[in-house]
Amino acid sequence: MWWHLLPLSILAALGAAAAPTCSSAPSTLHLPDAPYDNFFYSDCNTAVQVVVTTPQPDSNLSLISPRLVIAWPAGNSGVCTYFAPQNGVNGSLGIEVVNSTVGTPLAATYGDSNTTSGNDTTPFYGVTGTIRFNSSAILTVPILGSIRTIRDFVEGPSLLRPQIQDSINASSLSNGGALLERLWLDNVTSTHLNFTPATSGSVTVGKNNTLTFEAGDYIFTAQFNYPQLKQLSPAQVLTNTSTGLIQQDPERTSALSFLSYSTKLLAGAWRFLTYFGRDSMISALLLEPILSKGENGAMEAVIASVLERINRTDGSVCHEETIGDYATWLNENQYGLYSTEAQCDYKMVDSDFYLPVLMNKYFVEDPVGRTRAGAFLNTSAGAFNTSNGDLNYLQMAAINAERIMNLAAPFAGQSNQTKDNLVHLKDGQIVGEWRDSTYGIGGGRIPYDVNTALMPAALRAIASLARNDFFANQTQWAELADEYAQVWEDETLSFFRVTVPESDAKQLVSSYAQTIDFTGPNKTDTIDGDVIYHALALDGNNNQSQVLVMNTDDCFRHFLLNTTASQHQLTAFMNQTANNIRRTFPAGLLTDAGMIVANPAYGKDPVYAANWTRGAYHGTVIWSWPLAMMAKGLEQQLGRCETTNSSAGHSNHARIRIPDFCQDATVYDNVKTAYNALWDSIEANQAQLSQEVWSWTYDSSNDQFLPTPLGVMPPPPGSSSQTESDIRQLWSLTFLAVTRNTSFR
C-alpha cells in the first residue's frame, strides 16, 4: 500500500500504523566533506546514514560521479544509486539533499509489514528526504541490499553480481514517480527505494532498471523490513563522569552514539557499519577512560561481541562479521547452501592479541569491571553463533589465551629466538594486521607490530589474568606468560631494526622526492645522523628480507608496553621514534596535515615509491587513530619519568624504577619535543580527526601540506579503483578521551 512510504508525521495524521513512540527527539548530524555530503538520522527505532556525492569543479571525473548512498547499521544494509547527466556531459550534473516539508532534511518512515507482500512480520523502517537535480538525469546503476555488495562495486573493479542485480524490479507509480525494489536472497526481507516529484517533473522507467528524471526536486524514500539494532544514546555510551562531553562536543559524542549498540560497536560510517574486532578493541582501549562500564555498558558490549565470535576450534578472534543479505549470498556461493547464518572472517593475526589486553584492562584494573567479572564471564556464548552455546565467555577467553601461549612458546624457548619462530601471517593470506590492503605491509609475512608489541602485551595481560584466577586450569600461566613476554619484549626489535647511514639517508630522500615530483623542500638538512626505524614487516615482495618503509607502528609498543629489562634498547627506541616524528616528510613522518603512517623514502627499490602513495589506503596518508595511540603512548612513556610506581601496561603492580632515558637529557628532551610537535599537528587538524583516513596535497606558494580527502586522490599505479574514507570512524573518535598533557610542554 502507498502509505507505508510516508514519513511518520503524515502516517500519524492519517491514522495509519505508526512506529513505537520515542521518548526523546531524533539525533541528527550534517557533515559536509566535499565532494561528499553526509547526513545522519537516528531515533529509538532506527538509525541511518545518507551520503550524497556530487562532482566539484576540481574533481577527477573518472573517480567522482553523482551518487546517493543510504546505509543502515541493521544488517549492514544499504542502497546505492549512481546518476549521470542526461545530456551526456560528464561533470555537469549536480545533486544535493535539501530541506523540505518532508524532512530537515531527513525524516523516518515506518510501515506495517502487512502492507506489503511477503510472510515476514518485521516492520519496514526507513528514511525519506528531498533530492534536487540541477539538470535532467539518469539513474544508471542501482544496488539494493548489503553494504558489502555496494563496497564490491565501489572499491572493486565495478563488480556487480547478476544473482543480486537481476532481482531488482523497477515500476512506475501513479503519482509520476518510480519504485525500485528487491527481495533479498532470504526470500523474506525486501528493500524499497522510490522517487516521486516534489512539485512538478516526472520519473520515467527505462530498460535495465534505469530511471530518467527531469530537473527539479524529488522525494526519495528508502526502507527495508529487517530487525533493527538497539542504539546506545550518548549518555549510555559514556561514563557518568564523562557526560559533560555531550554538551562540550555534541558532534563527536553523537557520532560515537551512532556507532554504538547494545550488542556491538560498529567500525565506521558508511563503509564499515558492522562489527570489526580489531577496530572495536583498539577503540575501547583508547576510549576506556570515558567509555561506559558495567551491565549494558559500551565496554562490555565490545568484549562480549569479540567473545561471541571467537573460533572455538583454534581461538582466533573474528576480524569482520558477514551478516544480512551478503551472508546468504556467501553461504550459497561458497558452500552451496541456502542459509542466512552469519559468517566471520578469521584471516587476521593481530586481532587475537588485543582481547586479553582489553579484558585485563577492564576485569582486573577497573573497579567496576572487577565487580562484573563473575556474572559477565558466566554468560553463554551462543547469542551470535548458536554452536558456541555450550561454552561461556570465560571458556571462550581461555581458548583465545591458549592460542596465544602456543604461538609464543617456540620463540620464547631457550636459544630459539629465530625469525622462523616469530608470528607469521596465515597461510595463503597477504594481509593480517591493520595495514590490510594489498601493499599495506609490502607482501611481508612477519608483521612488525604483532611481534614486537601485540604479542608481549597479550602475554603480560594473560599473566595478570592468571594471577587473578581467570584461568583455573592453567595456573602456571601466571609466571610462564610473564617469562615469555620478557623474551618477546627484549628479543624481537632487532629483527626489524633498520639503520641507514647519514649520507645514504640524504641521498635516498633526495632521490625519492624527485621520483614523486614533490614540490616542497626535501628536508635532508634535518638528517643529522644515521636514520633508524623499524621495518613494517619481514620477508616482503621482491625477495626483500625487510619491508623498508618508515612507519608509525612504534605507537603500539609505547602504548601497550612498559619494557623493563633492556634499558639501552628502550632509550634507543624512544630516541628513534622521536627523531622520525620530529622530521618533516619526506625526511620523516610529520606534515602540516598530520603524521603520515608510512614513508617509503628510505626504501631503495622503486617499488616502494610506487606502492606507498598519497592515494594508497596505507600509503603516505594520515590515519586518525595512530595519531591518538602515538600521542597517548608517548605520554605514558614520559609519565614513567615522573613516578617510581607506574604499573601501566604491566598489571603486576610491581615497583618499576625510572627508565634510563629519563636521565638522558638529550633523549628525554627529544621525546618531549616530538610529543609537542605531534600535538601541534593534531590540534591544527581538528577538522579531520574524526575521519578514518585522509591524504594531502602540497601548496608550494604557502610552503604547506593541505589535508585532502583520500577518495579524490589518484589510486596507486596498477589499481583499478580508489578507496574513499569514512566520514566518521569508531577508532577516530578516540580524541574524546585522548587529550594533550600540558605538563610536558
Cα–Cα distance between 715 and 15 in angstroms, integer? 53
Average pLDDT for residues 196-205, to the nearest whole number? Answer: 93
Q: Are residues 695 and 672 part of one domain?
A: yes
The one-character DSSP state at 312 is T
Judge whether 340 and 284 are in contact, CB under 8 Å.
no
Query: Given this model, what pLDDT does residue 10 score?
Result: 42
The answer to whether position 625 is within a domain reads: yes
The answer to whether position 173 is within a domain reads: yes
pLDDT at 201 over 70: yes
Q: What is the pTM of this model?
A: 0.95
Tens digit of each residue's pLDDT (9 = 90 or more) over 142-162: 999 999 999 999 987 788 999
Q: Are residues 314 and 214 part of one domain?
A: no
Number of domains in the chain: 3
CA-nearest of 403, 416, 498, 494 to 455 is: 403
pLDDT at 9 over 50: no
* Residue 66 pLDDT grade (very low, low, confident, very high; cuts 50, 70, 90): very high
Please, what is the average pLDDT of the chain? 93
One-character DSSP codes across 237-265 = HB-GGGTTHHHH-HHHHHHHHHTBBSS-B
Average pLDDT for residues 708-734, to the nearest whole number? Answer: 86
The one-character DSSP state at 289 is T
Tens digit of each residue's pLDDT (9 = 90 or more) over 17-65: 567 899 999 999 999 999 999 999 999 999 999 999 999 998 989 889 9
Query: Given this model, what pLDDT does residue 54 score?
Result: 96
Q: Are residues 503 and 644 part of one domain?
A: yes
Query: Given this model, what pLDDT does residue 544 score?
Result: 95
β-bridge partners, 699:
704
* Residue 355 pLDDT grade (very low, low, confident, very high; cuts 50, 70, 90): very high
Q: Are residues 609 and 685 part of one domain?
A: yes
Residue 305 exposed, middle or buried by CB count within 10 Å (0-12, 13-18, 19+): buried
Q: What are phi and psi of 698, to 5 degrees?
A: -110, 125
> Which H or E element spans position 27?
strand 27-33
The answer to whether position 478 is within a domain reads: no
Tell me which amino acid residue 265 is.
Answer: L
Cα–Cα distance between 641 and 668 in angstroms, integer? 9
Cα–Cα distance between 48 and 41 in angstroms, integer? 5
- In this structure, how many other beta carbons lie within 10 angstroms of the beta carbon of residue 661? 24
Query: Given this model, what pLDDT does residue 155 score?
Result: 86
Tens digit of each residue's pLDDT (9 = 90 or more) over 384-420: 988 899 999 999 999 999 999 999 999 999 999 999 9
pLDDT at 652 over 80: no
**Of 169, 190, 224, which residue is a domain's last?**
224
- Output the CA–CA distances (angstroms, integers) from residue 100 to 66, 127, 426, in the order listed: 21, 14, 53
**Of 170, 197, 224, which residue is a domain's last?**
224
Tens digit of each residue's pLDDT (9 = 90 or more) over 517-575: 999 999 999 999 999 999 999 999 999 999 999 999 999 999 999 987 789 999 999 99
Tens digit of each residue's pLDDT (9 = 90 or more) over 452-461: 999 999 999 9
Q: Are residues 549 and 427 part of one domain?
A: no
The answer to whether position 482 is within a domain reads: no
Q: Are residues 646 and 581 part of one domain?
A: yes
Tell me which amino acid residue 596 is.
Answer: I
CA-nearest of 433, 307, 301 to 730 is: 301
Tens digit of each residue's pLDDT (9 = 90 or more) over 412-451: 999 999 999 999 999 999 999 999 999 999 999 999 999 9
Report CA 702 to chain centroid distance, whole Å: 33
Query: Given this model, what pLDDT does residue 2 score?
Result: 39
Cα–Cα distance between 599 and 586 in angstroms, integer? 7
Judge whether 491 and 510 are in contact, CB under 8 Å.
no
One-character DSSP codes across 94-150 = -EEEE--SS-SS-EEEEE-GGGSSSS--PPEEEEEEEEEESS-EEEEEEEEEEHHHH
The answer to whether position 490 is within a domain reads: no
Q: Are residues 661 and 558 part of one domain?
A: yes
Q: Are residues 385 and 449 part of one domain?
A: yes
Judge whether 237 and 257 are in contact, CB under 8 Å.
yes
* Residue 654 pLDDT grade (very low, low, confident, very high; cuts 50, 70, 90): very low
Q: What percent of the chain shows pLDDT beyond 70?
A: 94
pLDDT at 734 over 80: yes
Cα–Cα distance between 677 and 583 in angstroms, integer? 10
Q: Are residues 438 and 319 part of one domain?
A: yes
Query: Given this model, what pLDDT does residue 182 score?
Result: 98
Q: Are residues 459 and 543 part of one domain?
A: no
Q: What percent of the chain shows pLDDT beyond 90?
A: 88
C-alpha cell at 56: 566539484
Cα–Cα distance between 570 and 550 in angstroms, integer? 18
pLDDT at 630 over 60: yes
Tens digit of each residue's pLDDT (9 = 90 or more) over 13-30: 333 456 789 999 999 999
> Which H or E element spans position 402?
helix 393-412
Residue range of the domain that includes 692: 496-744
Name, in order, each residue with C-beta under 8 angstroms of 519's C-beta and a sequence gap of 6 or more: 698, 700
Query: Given this model, what pLDDT does residue 720 score?
Result: 58
Average pLDDT for residues 337-354, to the nearest whole number? Answer: 97
Judge whether 571 and 532 are in contact, CB under 8 Å.
no
One-character DSSP codes across 488-547 = HHHHSHHHHEEEE-HHHHHHHHHHHHHHTT--S---GGG--S-EEEE-SEEEEGGGEEE-
Cell 510516508, located at residue: 6
The answer to whether position 473 is within a domain reads: no
pLDDT at 93 over 90: yes
Query: Given this model, what pLDDT does residue 20 score?
Result: 83
Average pLDDT for residues 497-520, to the nearest whole number? Answer: 98
Query: Given this model, what pLDDT does residue 346 score?
Result: 98
Cα–Cα distance between 311 and 12 in angstroms, integer? 47
The answer to whether position 344 is within a domain reads: yes
CA-nearest of 461, 449, 670, 447 to 555 is: 449
pLDDT at 221 over 60: yes
Average pLDDT for residues 278-302, to the nearest whole number? Answer: 98
Name, in order, each residue with C-beta under 8 angstroms of 598's C-beta and a sequence gap of 6 or more: 435, 536, 549, 550, 551, 552, 612, 618, 619, 620, 621
Query: Given this model, what pLDDT does residue 7 score?
Result: 53
Which SS3 state, helix, strand or coil, does residue 226 take? coil
Average pLDDT for residues 607-635, to the nearest whole number? Answer: 97
The answer to whether position 645 is within a domain reads: yes
C-alpha distance across the termini of the chain, in Å: 65
Strands 693-699 and 622-623: antiparallel
- In this structure, how many other beta carbons lie within 10 angstroms of the beta carbon of residue 636? 18
Query: Given this model, what pLDDT does residue 18 score?
Result: 67
Query: Given this model, what pLDDT does residue 358 score?
Result: 98
Q: Are residues 129 and 94 part of one domain?
A: yes
* Residue 592 pLDDT grade (very low, low, confident, very high; cuts 50, 70, 90): very high
Q: Are residues 594 and 463 part of one domain?
A: no
Query: Given this model, what pLDDT does residue 573 score?
Result: 98
pLDDT at 3 over 50: no
pLDDT at 74 over 80: yes
